[in-house]
Amino acid sequence: MDPNIPDKNINEIKSVLVAALASHGQLSEALLVYEQIKKAGHKLEPKAATSLIVRFCSSVFLIIYLQHYN
């Protein structure tokens, strides 16, 4: 990343990226970016966290459904 961009802004950008990836079904990529955020000592923005949780729960529900009803 550009060293001229403040850490706070980078965290916001990465949080938006997590939300976009999760919303488009790219959960593993979203989790990788989330790990980068954590390693940098930052926290995920609330909106991004919600997107990640919703997508994760939907994926788990689908897996459980397919295992029991397929």
pLDDT of residue 1: 64
The H or E element spanning position 60 is helix 46-69
Q: What is the pLDDT of residues 12-41, one digit of tens each?
A: 999 999 999 988 989 899 999 999 999 999
| Domain definitions of the chain by residue range | 7-69
Give the Cα separation of 23 and 53 in Å (integer).
10
Q: What is the pTM of this model?
A: 0.80
